[in-house]
Structure 1
Amino acid sequence: MGVLYTDDNPLAVSPELRDAALAAGQHINANGGIGGRQVEIVPCNGKNNPESNVKCATQFVNDGVVSVVGLDTQWGDNGVSIMERAGVVNQTVPLSHAEFASAVSFPLAGSTLTGGNAVAEYAARKSVKRASCIYPDTAVLKAACVDNFAPKAKELGIEDVQLIALPPTVTDVSQYVAKAAQSKAELVYSPASKQADVRMIQAAGQVGFSPEWVFSGSVAQPDFFSTLGDDAKNVVFWFDNKMWTVTGEPDVDVFNSVLEQHAPGSPINNNVVTVFSTLMTLKELGDTAGGDKMTRAELPDLLRGFGQVHQFMGPELDTSRHLPDFPTAYHTGSYLYKWDGGAFVPAGDGFFQFDTAS
């Protein structure tokens, strides 16, 4: 199993994805492997640049990888096509069209597609009439606002949806927050980085602007809350899977125990859970179907026709229900949680289901 992560990049680093995959691999192997076959985790640093992503794809092919998990913003344009030619299943966090639509793509996350839909549903149910979406001006993150959030918000009756592009390397975000304030946005959604999200809340506070903020669960980390203090209260986050702080959930207990044992101190966020969840769900499928199905030749057919399965720390998956236009994208919803100042609590209905196709 290949795991794609990012390091050595000033815009974003995610070595915790490697840590989560290695921890999951140790847990899986200590519990019979996948269908009786031991798992080898093959990490590769994509560095958020095209050349490194091509090198990672080539390494995964040459090392006999069967499926790839993880995340890199450049993977969709540079790695997925290589996976497709080699027949390697792609299960990275889907940030691009290719990561949803390729013949070898079987994402067990909806990422910004289901996340944006969930935020729009949440806002509409709260009778929000004016909303802003502030996005880093890159193709992937622009789509999170322009293609995923705004159309659904307008469809659901949100009258004014303002789209605000943020230069990817900007550090002073005050003028962009001011645009949202001038529009009197009641809710501001942003798929930006943790650093940018912190700066936006701080800039809003300086001008007395206090909308409801909604961010990706990847930024819901301890230093986000320690930096903002009381200003982080009531911020909403979308997650592909259940929060690692949920109590009374056996999957969550397993996740926390394994991370504590095999990756102590490694950060936990939405994407970490997605990597771990995908590997554990593959174990569930392989244990049921048999280890002989976990090959490049057999795994795609297994993933097309498994029927129903419980996704680890996630919803029930059903191969007869999928995201519109993406027949192998079976993860069709997002969880929303709000930080109440001391803990995460479900926001609105908690789980928001995308309109699915069959």
Structure 2
Amino acid sequence: MTGRRMTSLLACATAAAAGASLLTGCGMIPGVSGGSREPITVMTWAPDNTRATNMPGMPAMAQAWGRWINAGGGIDGHEVRVLSCNEENSSSGASACARRAVREGVDAVVGSYSQHGRSFMAPLEAAGIPYIGGYGLSEAEFSSHLSYPVNGGQAALIAGHGMQLGESCSRVSLVRPDTVAGDKLPTLLNSGLQRSSHRTAADIPAVEDAGEYTEKATEARRKAGRKKGCVTAVLGERTQTFFDSFRRLPESDDDEVRISSVLGSVGQPLVDRTGGSRSPFEGAYVTGWYPDASDPAWSPMLKVIKEHAFEDNRIDPADAGVQTTWIAYTVLKKVVENLDKDEITPLRIARALDQGAEIDTGGLTPPLRWRYEDMLGATDFPRIVNSEVTFQVVRQGRLVAQKPGFVDVGETVRSAP
């Protein structure tokens, strides 16, 4: 009997002494086989209650998924214990979440958000814990041998956004965080722009957590020009603050500047909060990873949210973070089912993924597989296996497809200097 199995049994014995209501973590909940297979422990982390980007919907989606899967008997007879952690948008917070994952003996970290890859990947690698379906902000997610990304990360979004803007904009201004991660965005955007033109974007670094952006907004509009110019801002949760400053700038009759961004900085929840069809984002270009929220492929997720989220207002099915968490847990479910083992370990999950387990996400992504030959091999992002994005636009207050289907930006990412 493994040490983890012994610990689990001791914990359940203690819970049994305290009362049956405490047995939900012991493989003894209704619908789950009574401990015939070992429970699985996973963790999802994301920042919450911070001054920068917050993604509370991701852990909330993970918890709802956990309730749904356990109500149906778990994954292949394994009850799933879903832990969450506030990453706090800091390297210390990311490191603390990773150390807690190691301490709790998790089998995988799934569907999480952090830009501090160096801080969280080292503890996970030391413990052999796979990182499945991160949001895609850090280089470590696309270089660590234990990371299994489900999208092309911000690299694919920005490169794809350049391609999208290159078809419609005469000049482009990029407002992006004045951070190490932000420093890479102009190169990626320009690689996309240059696929359809020889233009490069005006690079405008900005403080990530500023209270207003009037000075940067003025500079961005001036450098975009008035005729078919485009201003794109990629500032996470502060993107709304930037465009609030932008729309307060004095207008002129010949001003034709269009705004744009990528999912994660602008999404349906933000459009809804700012007025729907009367939102300042009406007409905005947006690049995403997945089909728009009205696509039938999201129906299984919507059903789980309706039946198991208990009106949790942190979960918005149109949010890219929530969607990424759903896809990441789809990967976990199918890998565990394919293993068909009484005991699931981090090593078994990682080995199954490395050896070519192919995951069908129901049309939300292309089939996912993480063999060496499936990876993009871009210099800074070698582990990208999904280099497809979607071009969307805000029409009548809804994010809808600008063009049908996916656009492969793999060559654009690979060719970025």
User: TM-score, structure 2 length as denominator?
Assistant: 0.77
| Residue number in structure 2 paired with 1:113 | 155
Which consecutive unaligned segments of at least 5 residues does structure 2 have? Answer: 1-41
| Equivalent runs, 1:98-137 vs 2, <5 Å | 98-124=140-166, 126-137=167-178
Are residues 1:348 and 2:403 paired?
yes
1:110-131 alpha-carbon deviations (Å, 9 max, x no partner): 221111121122123x253321
Whole-angstrom CA distance in 2 between matches of 1:281 and 1:292: 19
Cα deviation for residue 160 of structure 1 reads 3.3
| Residue number in structure 2 paired with 1:315 | 366
| 3-state SS, counterpart of residue 35 of structure 1 | coil
Compared CA separation, residues 9 and 201, structure 1 to 2 (3 A): closer
Compared CA separation, residues 205 and 349, structure 1 to 2 (3 A): farther
2:314 aligned to which of 266, 274, 277: 266
| 3-state SS, counterpart of residue 292 of structure 2 | coil
Whole-angstrom CA distance in 1 between matches of 2:188 and 2:270: 28
Compared CA separation, residues 31 and 314, structure 1 to 2 (3 A): farther
Whole-angstrom CA distance in 1 between matches of 2:80 and 2:180: 35
The root-mean-square deviation of aligned C-alpha atoms, in Å, is 2.4
| Residue number in structure 2 paired with 1:199 | 242
1:154-174 alpha-carbon deviations (Å, 9 max, x no partner): 354241311111112322212
The aligned amino acid for 2:367 is E
The aligned amino acid for 1:87 is G
| 3-state SS, counterpart of residue 183 of structure 1 | helix
1:14-38 alpha-carbon deviations (Å, 9 max, x no partner): 2211100111122222334333322
Are residues 1:64 and 2:111 paired?
no
| Residue number in structure 2 paired with 1:20 | 61
| Residue number in structure 1 paired with 2:216 | 176
Cα deviation for residue 350 of structure 1 reads 4.4
| Equivalent runs, 1:150-189 vs 2, <5 Å | 150-185=190-225, 186-189=229-232
Are residues 1:141 and 2:182 paired?
yes
1:66-109 alpha-carbon deviations (Å, 9 max, x no partner): 21134444531211111111100012212111111011111112
Cα deviation for residue 51 of structure 1 reads 2.2
- Contact kept, 8 Å, 1:53 with 1:78, in 2: the verdict is yes
Count residues with an aligned counterpart: 352
Identical pairs, percent: 20
| Residue number in structure 2 paired with 1:231 | 280
Compared CA separation, residues 157 and 286, structure 1 to 2 (3 A): same
The aligned amino acid for 1:200 is F
Compared CA separation, residues 148 and 214, structure 1 to 2 (3 A): same
1:339 aligned to which of 379, 391, 394: 394
Compared CA separation, residues 141 and 52, structure 1 to 2 (3 A): same
Cα deviation for residue 330 of structure 1 reads 1.6
Compared CA separation, residues 336 and 350, structure 1 to 2 (3 A): farther
Are residues 1:305 and 2:344 paired?
no
Whole-angstrom CA distance in 1 between matches of 2:46 and 2:209: 21
User: TM-score, structure 1 length as denominator?
Assistant: 0.89
- Contact kept, 8 Å, 1:293 with 1:299, in 2: the verdict is no
Moved over 6 A (4+): none
| Equivalent runs, 1:54-93 vs 2, <5 Å | 54-91=95-132, 92-93=134-135
Whole-angstrom CA distance in 1 between matches of 2:341 and 2:170: 52
1:206-238 alpha-carbon deviations (Å, 9 max, x no partner): 333543322232231435434252422112323
Cα deviation for residue 333 of structure 1 reads 1.4
